Amino acid sequence: MNKAQILELITKLPSNINEEDVMENLFFKSHVQAGLNALAEGNSLTHEQVKKKFKLNV
């Protein structure tokens, strides 16, 4: 996230939000964007690959 995106996110938050909640929102948004970027770059696993990786019998 760049500075402009961070400022945009902060301005959309309620005025009575506390510092911890601001940081939580930034952390969440940053990780969601990282996941979307990974998907766009083809860095993902299928459901079957995840089950095999974690040895799940679901």
Each residue's pLDDT tens digit, 19-43? 999 999 999 999 999 999 999 999 9
Residue 54 confidence (pLDDT): 92
Residue type at position 11: T
Residue 56 confidence (pLDDT): 85
For the chain, give every domain's residue range: 3-53
This prediction has a pTM of 0.70
Residue 57 confidence (pLDDT): 80
Please give the Cα distance from 52 to 15 (Å, whole number): 46
